[in-house]
Structure 1
Amino acid sequence: MDIQTSKIELVKLILDIDNTEFFQKVTNFIKNEKSDFWNDLSVAEQNEIRKGIEDLEQGKRIPYSDFLKKIS
């Protein structure tokens, strides 16, 4: 069974649910399972972001205008 067929079957099952508490649990579960962009980043990208945050916390900053000059 492909993913689209599975989705349709799941929707059919959900449509038959009359228990609001169970429906709320399923809704919350689905919302919590959404992909976090962080997980889509490579390890190298995650490390660069961590290093950037660490630099900021240590006061290592440059003015935005200097940054723009550096990259242009």
Structure 2
Amino acid sequence: MDLEARKIEFIKDFLQLQSEEAISRLEKVLKKEKKNVIEKDFNPMTQKELDQRIDQSEEDFKNNRFKKTSDLLSKYK
């Protein structure tokens, strides 16, 4: 059974649940799993990377390589 079929079966079973306690437990598991996925995908910058980005941003600003907020906002109005 592929992942999509498993999801559909899970949803069908979930919709048939009548126990509020069981639903609460499944909600907790889902929230915990979502948190784990977010934490797993999060890669903070090193101090060196952050410093490099700051230096690049400052250099861009000095060389007029930036956009004003008003220009960006007018684009989306």
Q: Normalization by structure 2: what TM-score? A: 0.54
Which amino acid is 2:58 matched to? K
Within 5 Å, give how 1:50-65 maps onto structure 2: 51=47
Return the index of the structure with the highest Cα Rg: 2
Against the structure 1 CA distance between its residues 47 and 32, is the aligned structure 2 distance closer, same or farther, given a 3 Å change threshold? Answer: same
Q: Are residue 69 (structure 1) and residue 58 (structure 2) matched?
A: yes
Matches within 5 A, 1:19-38: 19-34=19-34, 35-36=37-38, 38=39
Consecutive unaligned residues of structure 1, counting only runs of 5 or more, are 53-60
| % same residue | 24
Aligned to 1:58: none
TM-score, length basis structure 1: 0.57
Distance apart, 1:29 and its partner CA: 0.7
Pairwise CA RMSD: 2.7
Q: How far does the alpha carbon of each residue in 1:9-42 deviate from its partner, in whole angstroms, 9 at most, with x for none?
A: 0001101110101111101111110111x4125x
Cα 1:47–1:67 change in 2 (3 A) is closer
Residues 1:4 and 1:40: Cα distance change in structure 2 (over 3 Å): same
Given the superposition, is the C-alpha separation of residues 15 and 32 from structure 1 closer, same or farther in structure 2, using an over 3 Å criterion? Answer: same
Q: Which runs of 4+ in 1 moved over 6 A?
A: none
How far apart, in 1, do the equivalents of 2:9 and 2:58 lie? 55
| Residue ranges of structure 2 left out of the alignment (5+ in a row) | 61-77
